[in-house]
């Protein structure tokens, strides 16, 4: 998946249309709660403006249904970006309308323009070619630095680069890094290669488990989906969250995985979904009625940590329990500590795993934290990304 990067093209005096992921969380008052996604885009942004390019940024925010609304406007994002860059950032009140077209045409070298929320136009989600062409006509080159939406076929992700014909189409630094770790490293990992998969649903990770079973040495299973596997082995799960309709599939995965698939040996459970509930640690498959599993148990945490310590490559996607609620964060904390302490390449696959590693304070001690939950899962499944395939290959 070696693609040309923004650093490979001459941007001086040219207009660069860059798709970024500014889908940031907002507080109740509309202010930005976490500017991490904006900061992650800065290297690609600065690469263009510092080399004398004219930069047009586009992103979505929230889930508007093809109609403008004040709540999901990107104007506050443009203001935060201006503060981070320490230079003026222009804002267009539309996407391909009069304001955007006029401001894009009037940009000077080194200037930045943020377009209004892409999803204010219905053509964005539908991949409308005519909408895409109007975007493409604004620029001399296209850059995709929005890994979080790389698995989608929205107009800005796929139809725009397709509409740019023989104009340069490249990845930004963020997408290049995600491909390096989530695709290239996993395609030829140093061994032992261990994957840690958690979260609530087996159904969310079916294709990931199937794909990784063919390339991993071990897959460690935690989170609520472990209880579906426990049920598939004839265990008692009490009131635990399970997917009964996926039990047959879990049986198949257990048969395929053999000793590669490592399940918890004990469970930290409670009689209510609260920090103040009555708690017990029981053997896996022996959760009593009236109790639900809320975390892997201490013995499992120790065994998982010992396996992680031997790895040369480790990928983690999904927490081991209810990491937001002590004491049921202990399993996730133990795994996070083990991943941080491991000497090999450590890749955190976005979503709740990224949130957990940040919250627990280990983000700076791992090799890579993915910015895209859904996209990272899709890449771990081994899926092709049409939005990336549409970009220029390295010579």
Domain boundaries, the chain: 6-177, 189-380
Fold match, 6-177 / 189-380: yes
How far lies 215's CA from each of 17, 63, 160, in Å? 37, 36, 35
> Residue 182: which of 308, 329, 351 has the closest Cα?
351
- Where in 257-317 does DSSP place strands (E)? 261-262, 266-270, 279-283, 286-287, 292-296, 313-317
Q: Which two tokens stand for residue 201?
A: 């649903």
The Cα 362–Cα 289 span in angstroms is 36
Q: Which two tokens stand for residue 150?
A: 């790389």
Residue from 62, 110, 374, 382 carrying the catalytic annotation: 374
The angle, 0 to 180 degrees and rounded to 10, between the axes of the packed helices 36-50 and 75-85 is 60
Q: Is 246 among the residues known to form the active site?
A: no
- pLDDT (0 to 100) of residue 180: 87
- pLDDT (0 to 100) of residue 182: 84
Residue from 37, 103, 119, 125 carrying the catalytic annotation: 37
- pLDDT (0 to 100) of residue 378: 85
- pLDDT (0 to 100) of residue 203: 82
8-state DSSP, 393: B
Residue from 75, 201, 260, 279 carrying the catalytic annotation: 201
With beta carbons less than 8 A apart as the criterion, state whether 194 and 219 touch.
yes
Q: Is 39 among the residues known to form the active site?
A: no
Instruction: Please give the chain's pLDDT, 395 residues, in tens.
Output: 589 999 999 999 999 999 999 999 888 888 898 898 999 999 999 999 999 999 999 999 999 989 999 999 999 999 999 999 999 999 999 999 999 999 999 999 999 999 999 999 999 999 999 999 999 999 999 999 999 899 999 999 999 999 998 999 999 999 999 988 888 888 889 999 999 999 888 888 888 898 899 999 999 999 999 999 999 999 999 999 999 999 999 999 999 999 999 999 999 999 999 999 999 999 999 999 999 999 999 999 999 999 999 999 999 999 999 999 999 999 999 999 999 999 999 999 867 888 888 888 898 999 998 888 788 888 888 888 999 999 999 98
- The model's pTM is 0.87
Pick left, alpha or beta for residue 129 (phi over 0 → left; psi -120 to 50 → alpha; otherwise beta): alpha
Write down the architecture of domain 6-177 according to CATH. 3-Layer(aba) Sandwich (3.40)
The Cα 239–Cα 37 span in angstroms is 37
CA angle at 270 for the pair 320 and 326, rounded to the nearest 5°: 55
Residue from 127, 321, 344, 351 carrying the catalytic annotation: 351
Residues forming beta bridges with residue 141, ordered by sequence position:
16
Write down the architecture of domain 189-380 according to CATH. 3-Layer(aba) Sandwich (3.40)
Q: Is 374 among the residues known to form the active site?
A: yes
The residue count of the chain comes to 395
């Amino acid at each position: 998946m070696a693609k040309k990067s923004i650093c490979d093209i001459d941007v001086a005096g040219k207009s660069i249309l860059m798709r970024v992921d500014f889908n940031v969380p907002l507080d109740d008052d509309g202010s930005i709660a976490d500017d991490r996604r904006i900061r992650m885009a800065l290297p690609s942004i600065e690469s263009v403006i510092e080399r004398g390019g004219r930069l047009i940024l586009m992103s979505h925010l929230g889930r508007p249904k093809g109609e403008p609304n004040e709540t999901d406007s990107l104007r506050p994002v443009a203001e935060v970006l201006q503060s981070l860059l320490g230079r003026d950032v222009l804002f267009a009140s539309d996407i391909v309308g009069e304001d955007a077209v006029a401001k894009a045409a009037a940009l000077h070298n080194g200037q930045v323009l943020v377009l209004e929320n892409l999803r204010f136009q219905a053509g964005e989600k539908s991949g409308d070619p005519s909408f895409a062409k109007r975007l493409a006509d604004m620029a001399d080159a296209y850059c995709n630095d929005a890994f979080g939406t790389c698995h989608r076929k929205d107009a800005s992700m796929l139809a725009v680069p397709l509409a740019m014909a023989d104009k340069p189409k490249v990845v930004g630094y963020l997408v290049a890094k995600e491909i390096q770790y989530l695709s290239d490293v996993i395609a030829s990992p140093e061994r032992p290669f261990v994957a840690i998969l958690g979260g609530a649903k087996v159904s969310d990770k079916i294709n990931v488990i199937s794909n990784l079973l063919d390339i991993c040495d071990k897959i460690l299973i935690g989170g609520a989906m472990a209880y579906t596997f426990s049920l598939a082995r004839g265990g008692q799960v009490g009131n635990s969250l399970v997917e009964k309709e996926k039990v047959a599939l879990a049986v198949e995965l257990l048969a395929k995985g053999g000793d590669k698939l490592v399940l918890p040996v004990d469970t930290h459970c409670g009689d209510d979904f609260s920090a103040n509930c009555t708690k017990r640690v029981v053997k896996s498959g022996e959760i009593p009625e009236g109790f639900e599993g809320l975390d892997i148990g201490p013995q499992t945490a120790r065994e998982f940590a010992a396996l992680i310590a031997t790895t040369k490559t480790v990928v983690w996607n999904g927490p081991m329990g209810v990491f937001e609620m002590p004491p049921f964060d202990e399993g996730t904390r133990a795994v996070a500590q083990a991943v941080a302490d491991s000497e090999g390449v450590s890749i955190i696959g976005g979503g709740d795993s990224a949130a957990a590693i940040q919250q627990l304070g280990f983000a700076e001690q791992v090799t890579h934290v993915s910015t895209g939950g859904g996209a990272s899962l899709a890449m771990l499944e081994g899926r092709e990304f049409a939005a990336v395939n549409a970009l220029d290959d390295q010579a």
